[in-house]
Structure 1
Amino acid sequence: MFVLAAVVLIGRALFIQVIDDTYRRRADAVSTGNRILYPSRGGIFDRAGKLLVNNEPMYDLLVTYNQVDPEMDTAKFCQLLSIDKAYFKKSINKDWRSPRFSKRVPFVFMTNISPDVYTKFQESLYEFPGFYVQQRNVRSYPFPNAAHVLGNIREVNAKEVKDSSEVYNPGDYIGSSGLERYNEYYLRGQKGVRRILKNSMGREVDSYQDGALDIDPESGLDLVTTLDIELQAYAEDLMQNKAGSIVALDPNTGEILTMVSAPSFDPNVLSIGRTRGAAFDTLRLDPNKPFINRATSAQYPPGSLFKSVVALVAMQEGLLNPNRTITCNMGYHYNGQLLTGCHAHPTCTNVSAAIQHSCNAYFVTIYREILDQYGYLTPRKGLDEFNDYLDRFGLGKRLGLDFPGEKKGNYPTVEYFDKVYENEIHWYSIWLRSMGIGQGELLMTNIQMANLAAIIANRGHYYTPHLVNDIKDAEGNVVEKRNFEKIEVGIDDVHFGPVIDGMQKAVMGGTAVNAFIWDLPICGKTGTAENNQGSRKDHSIFFAFAPKDDPKIAIAVYIENSGFGGTYAAPIASLIIEKYIRGEITPYRKWLEQRMLDAVLLEDIPKE
């Protein structure tokens, strides 16, 4: 029995000392350290559950200088990583006098190593003491669409690290634009930590306490967006070789179905990688400015779309009978002088006809009467009251979109005109007449124009436009469901009837006839905003909703430098409406679809 016990003990000692070197390695350990474990960033999905933003593995190579073998095979090392000796020397030698670097602390030698290169290098990593690989996740995009909406990620800067209360470290990634930026808190996840034992040379020898104190990373949360990626892709195709924006939303919920800014680009070109810098510079230097999000950040004159607001306010204030006739004679005349021109059209005997034919004289007259309702010498009070309505319509302020960079637009105030005309005894409504037809100092974003279409479709209310409905965990459980209140604009339901009838007539036989679909009642209004930049064409505008009596989509299309609103903006909007409601374009309209796809409206702009 004694002999058997002795054999067991000798065998155990042999195993511990010779075969299993765990205890020897632990005996060599003189300090502990941490290895950061990076989480997977949350995914982004469209309304149908299609994955829009995914994670791809990418690898960083870190090195501790005083652990590097001076006799290492640098030629093989460089060959495996496809780098040259100059790159090696530059990356390994640091300014050791700087507090940023220490020969005993790991620093980044090389970033953004692809999985293919990593696989080859990993097989020989043991030959290069002092180097270790850290896995990161970068973004990839299954669809080459929605670059402005989805956004991208980049490395944090020094200020972000300092202000983050130790959430970020140098080299970490952060959302820099779009949904990635706005929802960074949800998407980023929580880092984990692996605690290690290190020997006197600072090299890792084992896990600390068998990993009992390790902290696993927590994946970021997923975003379920309101986007219809198929509709988004179709809208982007229609906007190829054009500059402008399309915003389409569900008027019943405020959900944004598509948000296009053109020119656009494939989001994959800005994925973290070796070619990102060159791609970024190409886009940055493009004279057509593809980085500008024209849906939310560009501010445009709304043009004749604004006439619908003028009519609604005037009827609500009791200043306009819906059956009132106002003559035109090719424009608005004052004291026998033509001040604002107009195109030829039948006499407008009611509000519907004025909307249908987009009569400038009609709406300049009405706008002046709103301002002068308390006397022609006191337009201030009238303008203040009119602006109160604009505020309720969500104009001149941010709508509260769950997206960064939303601009407010602009409507001029009494204080503004007091300053402009400070050398005058009075200022008068006749001087402000261009605002009655959506020109002058008025500015709107395209998201505001689409929301205006939704307000009219809903006969007086809207829901805050938004891009995210649900936030889910990795198991698909909803951890946050966003709700949006119904916002009334203060216009009685009855007053929307004449405006909506006029919008339908504009499509059936007015300025927007190019948007007509015989069995799909579309209500829309064209606009043509003046462009004061030299000889370039005016801007083409159209907003609409459909179907008339059960609206499912509200849309605004703004195309820069493309002329009359009915030429391009209206047919493009009608194609998107038909695609969304029916899922396809009817054969007899295929010619129109092809014409819009083939249209080249981007002008050659010389580089600065």
Structure 2
Amino acid sequence: MKPQYYKITIALSIIALIFVARLSYLQLFTDRYALNAANTSIKTHYDIPQRGVIFDRNGKILVGNQPAYEISYTEALMRPDFDTLDFCSLLKISKTDFITKIKSIRKEEYFSKLTPITFIKNLNREEVARIQEIIFKYPAFNIVSRPVRQYEVSTSGNLLGYTNEVNAGDIKKDSTYYRPGDIAGKTGVEKSYEKFLRGEKGVQFIQKDIKLRDVGPYKDGTLDVDKVIGSDITLTIDYDLQRIAEEMMVNKRGAIVALDPKTGEILAMATGPDIDPNIFVGSNKSRDIYRLGKDTFNMPTFDRSIQAGYPPGSTFKLLTALAGMQMGVLDENTVFPCGGGFNYKGLRIKGHGGAVPMIPSIQVSSNCYFSYAMLAIINKYPGNPSKGVDEWRAIMKSFGLGDYMNNDLAVGAPGKIPSGKYYEDYQRRIYKGAGIDKDVKDWSPLSTGAIFDGMGQGDILVTPLQMANFTAAIVNKGWYVTPHIVKSIDGKPNPDPRFKVKHKTLVTNPHYYDVVMKGMEQVMLAGTGRSLKSKDFTQLAKTGTAQVPQGKDNSIFVLAAPAENPTIVVVAVMEHAGFGATWAGPACTVIAEKFLTGDIKRENLYKKMINGSFMSEYRRQEIARLKKKGWYKEPNKDSLKILQIQDSLKFIKDAALRAELLYKKDSLQIRLNLKSKK
């Protein structure tokens, strides 16, 4: 044999020896193959941990657990002598139902003969007690304890979220943990903090004899893994504020958001319409969740507080003022020719306030002043409006606008802050449509609509949470902490480093903020929000009345209090409700009043909000939309009567809910008073 063949032979021999040695080690000295699911003499039992409890910031339980049971099926453990009829009698199901269920299990994407898969759910304790005595006769089936959620509140379904059985996508994302039949958070806090709330499953390896009867733990349980109960989570939410906000959003669309400007902790985040989370439990939950998702009229699963981008209207004028001062194109003493409104190259915008400086212009919410201010921003660099817009845009983004907020919420929207390129492309389309061959670099603020950005119309979109955040940055004089929803985990402060950073804005001069805040103070003392002035605390605010194409204006309001050292920021958006101080304003001041004084002192504002309804306007818009698409059919008289009855029943139900909530609040106060007297 030639020498080179000796080398090849030796190399192959060494490789073969390594392979044999490794295989021997795995088979003889480890449990990897002994525990392989193919070895049906070892049964794997998973111990499902209880999910963590969700509390509000004051220790109130919002979401807990209740015991529930199910039966799992492992096909590899099915005996040849399995008595189908006897088993069906035990479970009180028909043989047809049994066969149908087994067939559906086999068709599941992640079906394996070796993996336990849910056969039947939602067994009560009495059923389990009856079945437990006999189920040992059917080793392919096993009783599994799987706690289900119990909601202690009847509002905030979008915020809290729900759990449901994992799907193929969930298993694919985390195949090391999830198995068919497992439960995971699908929306809200349940989703965003899933890995904390779910805990860790326990694993027990049970040895079986030749007849597949349990004979005890494998290797005396040394390989078993103890379950770890899910972590309890304390939210930043103050449920008293949250409940009041949800009550005020009944029969309205929009959102109310309150946060602590110093910490970024979200105190309330209500969306309208709301969801009662109790529909997420029970035997009909899948049907109810599907129905909610298909409701295209109310869109209850669309969380408007963090997913809806709104034109911010006049609330945005605060940022226009700051950007203009930072860019050096105006100051607090700048006066624009606003005697008869805004007039520029044929464009006329009706206005009020006259030719006055910045603070009075904020006070009266002058469209004219802030249109001229935006024009000055755009024209900062003559012949290159994109450069001015991009500098302005960078300032806006430093306030957390135009981007996802990178927080601990399950969903969100980035909003929209246009760039110079956006308007160049817009101008290009205009020229192309008109057949004009012209350079778009020096685009027109009028034809593109960029000039309307200064008063919060134009192409700007902002979520209610973003509005609250930029208001916090203003009252903090140039910084904010990313808004977040979880305060602590298992009693320890939220460890997420994102919520410990002070983000600095590009407006760096504290004096600029002083000017804007003086304007906000004047809004409440003598301006557009003066009707909402409180006798108990000082306020900084700005009204907003945003025009929208669908119908009536959106009512918007931002508020911070107390004025000398704000500890709460509140923002409200009421879709198609009209003037900002009429509807959004009362909602904000009621929340601030409850937070700062511990009570609602102006009951008239609260009652106005809980009794107000804009459903007729929403229905009018929906009918107009359907007619435009050719889908609308005029209802007959009987249908109209049914609708009127349904409306009456809904009103009665809503009124009953409000009365129940108020009763619970009063009863709790009575109990607390009695306890304190003892």
TM-score (norm 1): 0.87
Shift of 1:428: 2.4
Contact 2:118/2:180, CA 8 A, preserved across alignment: no
Aligned to 1:523: 540
Contact 1:249/1:465, CA 8 A, preserved across alignment: yes
For residues 377-526 of structure 1, what are the structure 2 equivalents within 5 Å?
377-422=383-428, 423=431, 424-425=438-439, 426-431=442-447, 432-472=450-490, 476=491, 480=495, 482=497, 483-491=499-507, 492-526=509-543
Aligned to 1:53: 63
1:351 is aligned, of 342, 350, 358, to 358
Shift of 1:143: 1.6
Asked whether 1:133 is paired with 2:146, we answer no
Aligned to 1:372: 379
Asked whether 1:532 is paired with 2:549, we answer yes
Contact 2:50/2:230, CA 8 A, preserved across alignment: yes
| Secondary structure of the corresponding residue to residue 339 of structure 1 | strand
Shift of 1:85: 5.0
Contact 2:325/2:331, CA 8 A, preserved across alignment: yes
Change (3 A) 1:212 1:72: farther
Letter in 1 for 2:358: V
| Secondary structure of the corresponding residue to residue 397 of structure 1 | coil
- Gaps spanning 5+ residues in structure 1: where? 1-28
Letter in 2 for 1:486: K
Contact 1:72/1:128, CA 8 A, preserved across alignment: no
Aligned to 1:280: 289
Shift of 1:231: 0.9
Higher relative contact order (CA 8 A, sep 6+): 1
2:598 is aligned, of 557, 575, 583, to 583
Bigger mean CA offset, 418-427 vs 202-211: 202-211
Change (3 A) 1:339 1:448: same
1:361 is aligned, of 368, 371, 375, to 368
Shift of 1:316: 2.4
| Secondary structure of the corresponding residue to residue 290 of structure 2 | helix
Q: Following the alignment from structure 2 to structure 1, what is the Cα–Cα distance between the partners of residues 231 and 377?
A: 51
For residues 16-55 of structure 1, what are the structure 2 equivalents within 5 Å?
31-55=41-65
| Secondary structure of the corresponding residue to residue 480 of structure 1 | coil
How many percent identity over aligned positions? 36
Letter in 1 for 2:554: H
Bigger mean CA offset, 427-436 vs 85-94: 85-94
Asked whether 1:594 is paired with 2:610, we answer no
Bigger mean CA offset, 345-354 vs 447-456: 345-354
Aligned to 1:314: 324
- Residues 63-107 of structure 1: CA distance to partner in whole angstroms, max 9, x if unpaired? 45634742754574244xxx5554334224568799966778754
Shift of 1:453: 1.1
Letter in 2 for 1:367: M
Q: Following the alignment from structure 1 to structure 2, what is the Cα–Cα distance between the partners of residues 95 and 221?
A: 32
Q: Following the alignment from structure 1 to structure 2, what is the Cα–Cα distance between the partners of residues 325 and 348?
A: 6
Bigger mean CA offset, 249-258 vs 138-147: 138-147
Contact 1:38/1:136, CA 8 A, preserved across alignment: yes
Q: Following the alignment from structure 1 to structure 2, what is the Cα–Cα distance between the partners of residues 104 and 325?
A: 79
Q: Following the alignment from structure 2 to structure 1, what is the Cα–Cα distance between the partners of residues 84 and 483?
A: 63
Please give the root-mean-square deviation of Cα atoms over the aligned residues, in Å: 2.6
For residues 116-195 of structure 1, what are the structure 2 equivalents within 5 Å?
116-122=126-132, 125=135, 130-195=140-205
Aligned to 1:196: 206
Q: Following the alignment from structure 2 to structure 1, what is the Cα–Cα distance between the partners of residues 107 and 57?
A: 54
Change (3 A) 1:414 1:198: same
Contact 1:469/1:481, CA 8 A, preserved across alignment: no
Q: Following the alignment from structure 2 to structure 1, what is the Cα–Cα distance between the partners of residues 53 and 214?
A: 34
Change (3 A) 1:129 1:459: closer
Change (3 A) 1:168 1:339: same
Shift of 1:359: 0.6
Shift of 1:490: 2.8
Change (3 A) 1:109 1:46: same
Shift of 1:323: 2.7
Change (3 A) 1:179 1:106: closer
Letter in 2 for 1:137: P
Contact 2:445/2:451, CA 8 A, preserved across alignment: yes
Aligned to 2:315: 305
Contact 1:470/1:481, CA 8 A, preserved across alignment: no
Change (3 A) 1:119 1:233: farther
Bigger mean CA offset, 453-462 vs 90-99: 90-99
Q: Following the alignment from structure 2 to structure 1, what is the Cα–Cα distance between the partners of residues 565 and 535?
A: 16
- Residues 127-184 of structure 1: CA distance to partner in whole angstroms, max 9, x if unpaired? 7665321111222221223222222222222233234242211111122122222222
| Secondary structure of the corresponding residue to residue 274 of structure 1 | coil
| Secondary structure of the corresponding residue to residue 530 of structure 1 | strand
Shift of 1:310: 0.9
Change (3 A) 1:449 1:116: farther
Asked whether 1:218 is paired with 2:228, we answer yes
Letter in 2 for 1:372: N
Change (3 A) 1:348 1:471: farther
Change (3 A) 1:581 1:94: closer
Change (3 A) 1:191 1:380: same
Contact 1:69/1:128, CA 8 A, preserved across alignment: yes
Change (3 A) 1:262 1:275: same
Contact 1:78/1:85, CA 8 A, preserved across alignment: no
Change (3 A) 1:348 1:229: farther
Q: Following the alignment from structure 1 to structure 2, what is the Cα–Cα distance between the partners of residues 158 and 98?
A: 9
| Secondary structure of the corresponding residue to residue 72 of structure 2 | strand
Contact 1:542/1:566, CA 8 A, preserved across alignment: yes
- Gaps spanning 5+ residues in structure 2: where? 1-38, 432-437, 632-678
Q: Following the alignment from structure 2 to structure 1, what is the Cα–Cα distance between the partners of residues 270 and 111?
A: 45
Letter in 1 for 2:604: W
Count of residues in correspondence between the two structures: 565
1:240 is aligned, of 223, 245, 250, to 250
Q: Following the alignment from structure 2 to structure 1, what is the Cα–Cα distance between the partners of residues 112 and 258?
A: 54
Aligned to 2:335: 325
Q: Following the alignment from structure 1 to structure 2, what is the Cα–Cα distance between the partners of residues 251 and 477?
A: 21
